[in-house]
Amino acid sequence: MKELYIFANWKMYLNHDESVALARDLKKKIPGLKLAAELAVFPSALSFVAVQKELQGVAEVGPQNVYWVDKGGYTGEVSAMTYKLLNVHYALVGHSERRHVFHESNAEVRQKLEAVLNADMTPVLCIGETLRERKDGEVEEVIEAQLRAAFMDLTWPKDKKLIIVYEPVWAISTGESCDLDEAERIAALTHKYAKGLLGKSVEPVVLYGGSVRPDNVAAYISQPHLSGVLVGGASTKVSTWLDILKETI
């Protein structure tokens, strides 16, 4: 059986009290589910420490974004190194909202990826095409370019998992999830490209993200090249998140 990764991106949906309340609810309910999957929650930077404290032993807690310089005059940023000191395992890198809303470039994604690795954390690299790129027939090109830029001059550490999330931008928070065969096709391509760029010994783990819900999660994780999901909106309510988790058992 393949190892499953079920990750929750809370984005900026919850305020501090709501984040802590959700974490408390999860702490009460998740252990009883006897899940086999690896769980991680990505809360806001503000609620990070409180959520991590609540979810100790229940789920990993990671940042939605990091900065690559360890310390200094970078107002508003939190460095990868700061998270490392909190014993953090996973960090999101290159989420499409970072790329498209905050204009994070492929080169910046590359810097963040390296910073996460240097901080001894496992990056969860997000890639995916926009609707325009899909309509213009550029999906493969975009995926390849994002991976090529992210891994440029990088030797993947032997002891680090490579986790890549295929998140078509047009499927994020739109309710319009990607066709299963297409998600599997791009996951297989991502797998192939990543191995081609980093070497055959690297075994990429590919997840899907984009309007994942309780009624479609099982179909995604049953695809041969998909090992889990990154869930946004549906992970921010205890009922839908627990329903998603139950579908993975």
Active site residues: 95, 167
Residue 53 vs 246, nearer CB to ligand PGA: 246
Tokens matching residue 3:
């190892």
Specify the stretch interacting with ligand PGA by CB under 6 A; choose among 16-24, 30-38, 130-138, 166-174: 166-174
What's the CA gap between 237 and 14, in Å, rounded?
A: 10
Report the residue from 209, 220, 241, 245 that binds ligand PGA according to the rule CB under 6 A.
209
Contacts (CB under 6 A) with ligand PGA, residues 214-243: 230-234
Specify the stretch interacting with ligand PGA by CB under 6 A; choose among 74-82, 130-138, 205-213, 216-224: 205-213
Per the document, the length of the chain is 249
Residue 9 makes contact with ligand PGA by CB under 6 A: yes
Residue 6 vs 212, nearer CB to ligand PGA: 212
Residue 211 makes contact with ligand PGA by CB under 6 A: yes
What's the CA gap between 21 and 34, in Å, rounded?
A: 22
Residue 8 vs 119, nearer CB to ligand PGA: 8
Residue 9 vs 52, nearer CB to ligand PGA: 9
Other beta carbons within 10 Å of 145: 14
Residue 173 makes contact with ligand PGA by CB under 6 A: yes
Q: Are strands 122-127 and 228-231 parallel, antiparallel or unpaired?
A: unpaired
Q: Least distance in Å: CB of 225 to ligand PGA?
A: 18
Q: Least distance in Å: CB of 175 to ligand PGA?
A: 8
Residue 47 makes contact with ligand PGA by CB under 6 A: no
Binding site for ligand PGA (CB under 6 A): 9, 167, 172-173, 209-212, 230-234
